[in-house]
Each structure stands twice: as structure tokens, then as C-alpha cells.
Chains A and B, each alone.
Chain A
Amino acid sequence: MSSTGDFQRVYSQLVELFLMPLLQGGEVKIPPLLAPSCFELLEAFAKPITEADLRVARLLHIQALNLLPLKSIPWPSPSLIACAATLSHLAYLLDPLLSKPWYQRAFARAYGWAYEWVDHLPPPESVGEAVVRHLLLQSFRALRRRDITINTWIATYHFWGRPVPWNVTALPKLRRVRFTLNEERSLAEIIRLKSQEVKNIPGFTSLYEQAFARISPLDTLLNPTPALELDENKAQWLSDRFLRMAICNAFLQLDTSSLLELLGKITINATSYPHPHRALVVSFSLEVLLLWLLATSHPQETSFRSQEASFCAALLCKAWDHEKWKQRLGPLSPKDWDKVLHLKRMSGSWPTSTIEQANFLLEHTSPSFC
């Protein structure tokens, strides 16, 4: 069989055994692995779109619409197939049997391939591709595994992610099958267990961290934590209106103190960025702050005790003093304007340097978001 025919076979198994159940739920099987050398084959290979591809695209489109309105999904594209192949490697490496000494060579080979795949992954070219990569990663993070432990009077059997053969539990009274422990583990827990098994192999956990960051640059933006670092590369994703709204919604899920501290931190950091990126971050922060102010009943003084939080509030207060930002933010209802006035009254208790820093940033930045 030609290499094209082999690739077609492995690709269809990747889609049907691995990708489809990953997206719609069910038993995710490990397909035959694609060697990293296939990456070049991917780019050169113009495959016809099959029925399975359409189903995958439809599933991805349905999930993407929960985040933002996308007209179409760029599946199958070489970089997305590469992401799926990387994820299949990552799933394969979690097999506990591969830690046995007689499978060391197989594990080492797959481990090396996984690293090569991660290195090969290009950054997403469009918003649609970035969103699809994020959805693939989100589905992979939702993976779970059923781990079954059976204890008999002879031995303890572990069936982690594998079905139990019938003869293990046959004649339970005669063979004294004492107990059966059925656990369901999340992906984070599976990775933690596996990293304990392969302590001698350095960088096992960091492989997954790198892979996740390479597959989806949006992961940290759409699942924000107080530890988020918004560099210039990530800030460029804020230029898309719909994606920015999705990120904005994700930020608003944080509690008030975490949100204000995070926004303050990323805005203060943005002062050193070149203008387009700085304008994106400041405009985004003001947009989130305004939405937070509209949603909150009455801002409390206790929310602005930290430096970052008071910087955010100062930014929002001072934005109304600059005509260009005032036009950008738009008119407010009297009730919401009362909240802004309330913030302005509170600004007396904040450090003067914070207010001046906010004023300086607004003065030297023009509103973005076309």
C-alpha cells in the first residue's frame, strides 16, 4: 500500500476512534500513532473531505458557537490535524503499563515523538483556528478514566482504563474476590499519577504544560486565573471583537477582588508595550471594568484596597475626563452614572501616584477596537 493509503487509514482511525468520542463523549481509544515525520506529509497531502470530517466540523462548530459567532470551522487543516495527533500522543503516554521495564523502549520512542510534535506545532493563523484548537484542548482536559482495582485472596489486580476480563471476577465466592474499587479520575489526576511513575524521566509534566500552551494560546485567556500574564502575543487576540467579548465574559466570571487585581496587574504591565498592544489592553480593561460596574449593585470601598484594584478604579474614573475615552465608552444611564460618581468620591482615599499613573496612561494611549 502506498504511504498515502496508509496515511488515509491512520487518519480515519484518528478521527473516528479518538477525535469523535473526544468531542461528543464516550470511549476514547488510542489510534495508531502518527510519526512526527508525517507532519510534512500533512502539508503536502490534499485529502478529500469525508463524512467523518463533516461530523467533526459540525461538532466543533456547535461548541464554538457557545463562545462566539463563527461562520465556518477550518477543519480539516494541517495544523489542526497536527494538534489532534499531538493530543493522541499525550493520551497514549498516560498508559500505566508503559511504565513497566519491558515497555521502556516503546515509551521512550513515543515520548520523543510527542516532544517533536509539540515543537512542530505552528501558532494559530486565524481566530477560527485558535478557537478550534482551544475546543480540542478543552475536550482533552475533560478526559476521564475509569480505574478498577480488584482484590482477591491471591493478588490485587489493577485495570486502569481497561476493561476487566470476565475470568477475574468469575466465581467470586470460591475465589474470594474481596472487593472491587471503581474510581473515576480526571486528566489532571491521571497526569499526576503518571508523573510519579516516571520520576526518572525529566520534564514529563512540563511536556503537557508546553503542549497545552502551544496547542491553545487562548487557553489562559478563556480560563483566566489571578496568575495570568498577558504578554504582547496574547494581547493581539483582543483585536477581534467577538473573541474579545468571549474573553470579557470569561473575565467577568471571576470574583470582584480577583478581577480587579488581575485587570490592574495586566494594565500596569501594558504600560511598557508598544502603542497598538498597550491600547488593546487598556481598552479591554476599561470595557471589562465598565461591564463589571454595570452589573454590580453598588461598588464597595473595601474592593479597592489593593494597589491594582485602586488603579483599575482610577482608570475608570479618569476615563470620563478624557474626551476620546469618554466617546469610546459611550453615554450612561443616570443610575449607572451615580455609580461612577460614587467611585469618584471614593478616589480621595487612594494614593495620588496611582491616580496620576492612570491619568498618564490614558493621556498617552488612544482608544483601540475598530
Chain B
Amino acid sequence: MHHVEPISPYQTRFLTPGLQFDIRGIAIGQKGLIIFPTIDRGACFFSAWSTDGSLQESLASLEIRRLRSLQRTYEIGVFFAVESSYRMDRVAGIARLAGGQSFTGTDRIFVQYRDNRSPLGYDIVENVDLAGDLVVFHESYRQAYFFDKTISFSELVLKLRPRPHKTRPAQHNFPLLISVEPGLFPALVSYLSRSAIKGRAALLDMPSHSAFEARARRLFLIEVDGLPPRFIELLRSVPGVNLFESPAPWARVEIGFEHPIALHACPNLFPSHTRVLFHGKGQVIVANALSSWSSLDSLFGFEWQEATPPIAHSSGTPLPPFHIPLQLVTKAPRRSHPSALFIPRNELLTFYNLLYFLPSSAFASIRIASAPNGFYLIAAAEIEAIPVGRFFNRLGSHLYIPLGMEIAPPVNSTFLSTLLSQFQDMHVFWESNEHPPVAIPDKAFFPLSQSIVLHLAPEIIDTLSSAPPPPPPPYLAHPPSPTAPLRNALAVSLKKK
């Protein structure tokens, strides 16, 4: 028995309440309804729908409800407003793909949406009053449902776990968000600031997971507009630091993972000041209670200097010839590559541990010299991979000044080379105004591998004298015929007898 019948082109009224022809002559209600047997089919539907286009216009009217049938079975119904049959066609196509059935209606009664057999849609055959919050009529059945509970779309998004990228994306969605455990925050801010990376930071107070926790958990968030690829690889490998990219203004998904639902399709799901962090392992952090964002530069350490007395000006007498000393002054931050590094004595232990993680090219290019107060390292590249010590820039051929500083007055490098002409075969390191420059002969620098690897003494193993493996145990095997050994033995003994 059919519960719906195809609509003919000249039909003027429908038994289904709220059904009407749209501009193309297709019977359609004010709402669309997709019914899925399980929630995971619904998730597939939203994943496909968000990939196909924006959900922004549908989100306002979107309603996900759990439906309970008279037989106490549960299904998932997705309601949304339908302005035209174009949108309904697109959604119905995706729903069929995800295993759902599409209906249209206005209030309580929904009828099967059009398909190839009935291009104009369907209407119910007779108006049967079934008890329930929702009655759907299909070609092969009619079914009444009660509304069980409502699931908001944002709740669904938060509950879906990100999955690893199938392929490595060519580029990341900026801005990137870095979540840092409190202990690592000062070191990371210092590292990013020294590398002239612009960004801002905020503090997130998270509620305690348990009443037994002494205090709320805190997390620092750093948002950067750009980050070189080597930084991304480095920070991803640091425990306690997580990197997130931004598929939507509110969403931050851990790098290397993607959310099942294309989050860029729903840009206004959360307020713009909220950050939702999706960890690859499934943890979701909704950051509402963020402190105000502050620039990274404002959080970097400052140095105090002694107050200098004002210079007394005199007038009337001719100025004698004067000499002013060169000084190191802080320059405006600008991205530059360091070419030398000084590691003080108190950071040597960290440096020794870091040596195990340096790339092989670093060992080939870096040269190192030992001084009483620490190690001096010089290299054309690779030296910025070492995150300890103080970086130096090279001025001219062999003068090194700290990164982020410049010489005042700004004399050119040729003049500097002239000043240091007697230190031709040396590398001159000028660390601060308080201390005179230090000159280290070039021959005191040795390749890194030659200087740090002590020795490798292989143990000689004489394979001839080493003990052989223990032999397998002997296993007793009785003869197939128990009398066989005796029969054969008898011949010998009889002959002897």
C-alpha cells in the first residue's frame, strides 16, 4: 500500500499541510527534514555538507533532534529552513549519499521529497492522524515520532575527534596558535622574540577537572601571524608545546590533524573572541575566559642601565679635537640570520645535551673555540638551530656584535675592517659596552665534531674464541615396533653363541 502519491503538474491543492509549489513548480514545505538511523551517519552528512559549501545560511535554522518512534527505536532528525527547492535538492543529494532520507513539510507532517520517479514531489494519499510530535510519510511507510532531546550543532562539532591529515598540506592556515605550559612560556617568548617573530600572547585559566585539584590549570596561548617551517617542526617536537592552525576564526585544530567537519564552512559558530582548541588526541578546550592579548615584544625581558649625569654644555671656547668611542646600541627589530654564537659557562650542560639533536649538516659547518668564559661558535648557517646562548651578527669580515644591536655611530664595515687591521687572522667578539672586545685566533676554531667527540674504541670480539650456542637437548624416540631392537640384536648374540 502506498502512503504517498506523485504530484501531477496541474494539481491545485495538497493534503499535506503547508505544502505548496515553488517558482519551479516543485511541491515543497517551509522546512526540510533529513532522518538518519544513527548519529554517525548524521556526522558524515555534516562532513559532506560542509565540504560542499558554506553552512552559514542554514545554521540559524538548523535543529538536530533525537527522534523516538512508537517502537522505542531512536533516530536522528535534522530540521532546517528551506527557502527554495535548489537548496533542498543539494541537501537531499548529500543526505542520500550519507544514508539519510529527505522529507519536506511545514509543521508536524512531513512528506517524502521529490526524486527521479516524481520530479514534482509527493503528497500524502489520506490524512491520517497519528499520535506523535512528528509524522513522516514515505512511499513505503508512515511513521510517527516523539521528540526526545535536542543536540546543538556546536555540541556535535565539539564532540567529533580530529583525524590525522591523509596528505601533508602545502601550507598552514595562519594565524597559528601555540599553546604552552606555564613553565615553558618565558623561554619560548624569549626564543620567538630573539628570532623577530611577531605575535601576541594571552593566559587561559581552565576550570579544575576535579575538586581535589589544588588550583585551576593554566595555559598560555601565543598567536603568531607567520612562522618559518623549521620553527613549526621544532615546536611540534617540544613536549608541552602544541601548535594549532586556524581553519575558522574561532577554531584552532592541531597541526597535522583536520576536523571531520570543514570548520571554515561555519565561521560564526562561536563568538569571535572565543578560541576552541581541538587537540589531535581528542581533547577540546573552549577558551572563553581569556585574558587580554599582549604583544610578545612587551613580554620580553628588559635590561636596566645606570642613569647617566646630564652633559654640561659650555660655549664660547673652540672645541678641541675629540674622539668618541664606538658603542653598541639596540636597533629596531629586523629579521636577520646570526653567524656566531656565544655559549656561557652556565649553559654548557644544556648545550651538551642539545648536541645529540643537531642535524649532521651542523656538525660539518659549525666551528667552535673554547674560551675561559664559555664556547664561541661560528658558522655560515645552521647556528640558529641552537636555542641557547647569545647570537652574534657579523659586521665586515671578522667583527661580531650581538644580534639585535648595531654600532653607533653607524660607521661602514670597510672602516671597521681598517680599525681591526692588526687582527686580520682573528675573530673579534664585542659582547657589550661594559666589556672590551675579545679576539680569538682563527686557528683556535675547530670543526664541532672534532672538538666534542672524545673517542670511539670498538671492542674486539674474537668470534673463534666466543662460546658456541648451547646444543639442543637430546630427545628420546622409541622405535615404531618395540621388539625391533631386540629382534636385530638376537641375530648377533645367537651367532656369537
Contacts and interface: CB of A to CB of B under 8 A. Distances in A.
A binds B: yes
A25 B497 CA distance: 36
A27 interface: yes
Contacts of A30: 477-479, 485
A10 B496 CA distance: 14
Given A34-B492, A35-B496, A37-B496, A106 B482 contact: yes
A21 B483 contact: no
Interface string B33-44: 000000000000
Given A10-B492, A26-B472, A37-B496, A32 B478 contact: no
Interface residues of A, number: 46
A26 to B, nearest CB: 6
Contacts of A34: 489, 492-493
Interface in A15-36: 21-36
B483 A106 contact: yes
Contact of B476 (A32, A97, A110, A143): A143
A160 B478 contact: yes
B271 interface: no
A257 interface: no
Contacts of A95: 478-479, 482
B496 A161 contact: no
B480 to A, nearest CB: 7
A98 interface: yes
Contact of A32 (B475, B482, B488): B488
Contacts of B477: 27-30, 161-163
B492 A21 contact: no
A109 interface: yes
A163 B490 CA distance: 26
Nearest to A13: B488
Interface in A70-125: 88, 91-92, 94-98, 103, 106, 109-110
B473 interface: yes
B474 A28 contact: yes
Nearest to A62: B468
B486 interface: yes
Contact of A38 (B478, B484, B493): B493
A161 B478 contact: yes
Nearest to B491: A6
Contacts of A33: 485-486, 488-489
Contact of A146 (B475, B483, B486, B490): B475
A24 B491 contact: no
B473 A97 contact: no
Contacts of B230: none
B92 to A, nearest CB: 51
A185 to B, nearest CB: 9
A92 B485 contact: yes
B472 A25 contact: yes
B471 A24 contact: yes
Contacts of A190: 476
A142 B470 CA distance: 13
A144 interface: yes
B495 interface: yes
Contacts of A142: 473-474
A262 B108 CA distance: 100
Nearest to A98: B482
Contacts of B471: 24-25
Nearest to B496: A37
A35 B489 contact: yes
A94 B474 CA distance: 15
Interface residues of B, number: 25
A34 B489 CA distance: 6
Contacts of B478: 30, 94-97, 160-162
Contacts, number: 104
A41 interface: yes
A162 B474 contact: no
Nearest to A2: B495
Contact of A25 (B474, B483, B491, B493): B474
Contacts of B493: 34-38
Nearest to B479: A30
A145 interface: yes
Contacts of B483: 103, 106
B496 A26 contact: no
Contacts of B472: 25-26
B496 A31 contact: no
A28 B495 CA distance: 27
A161 B94 CA distance: 69
B475 A3 contact: no
Nearest to B480: A162
Contact of A97 (B474, B482, B485, B492): B482
A31 B495 CA distance: 18
A139 interface: yes
Contacts of B495: 3, 6
A7 interface: yes
Interface in B433-481: 471-480
A94 B476 CA distance: 9
Nearest to B476: A145
Given A25-B471, A31-B485, A106-B483, A7 B492 contact: yes
Contacts of A162: 477-478, 480
Nearest to B486: A106
Contacts of B491: 6
B467 to A, nearest CB: 10
Contacts of A36: 493
A21 B495 CA distance: 29
Interface string A294-306: 0000000000000
B494 to A, nearest CB: 8
A158 to B, nearest CB: 12
A34 B492 CA distance: 7
B13 to A, nearest CB: 68
B475 to A, nearest CB: 5
A144 B475 contact: yes
A98 B486 CA distance: 12
A95 B472 CA distance: 22
Which of B471, B475, B476 has its CB near the most chain A CB atoms (within 10 A)?
Answer: B476
A7 B484 CA distance: 16
Task: Identify the 9 closest CB pairs spanning chains A and B, nearest first.
Answer: A35-B493, A32-B488, A33-B489, A25-B472, A25-B471, A161-B478, A97-B482, A145-B476, A95-B478
Interface of B: 471-480, 482-493, 495-497
20 contacts: A3-B496, A6-B492, A10-B489, A22-B474, A28-B474, A29-B477, A30-B479, A31-B485, A32-B492, A33-B486, A35-B496, A94-B478, A95-B479, A95-B482, A142-B474, A143-B476, A144-B473, A144-B474, A145-B475, A162-B480
Given A30-B479, A160-B478, A161-B478, 19 more contacts: A3-B495, A3-B496, A10-B488, A10-B492, A27-B477, A28-B477, A30-B485, A32-B487, A34-B492, A35-B489, A37-B493, A38-B493, A92-B486, A95-B479, A95-B482, A97-B482, A98-B482, A143-B473, A144-B476
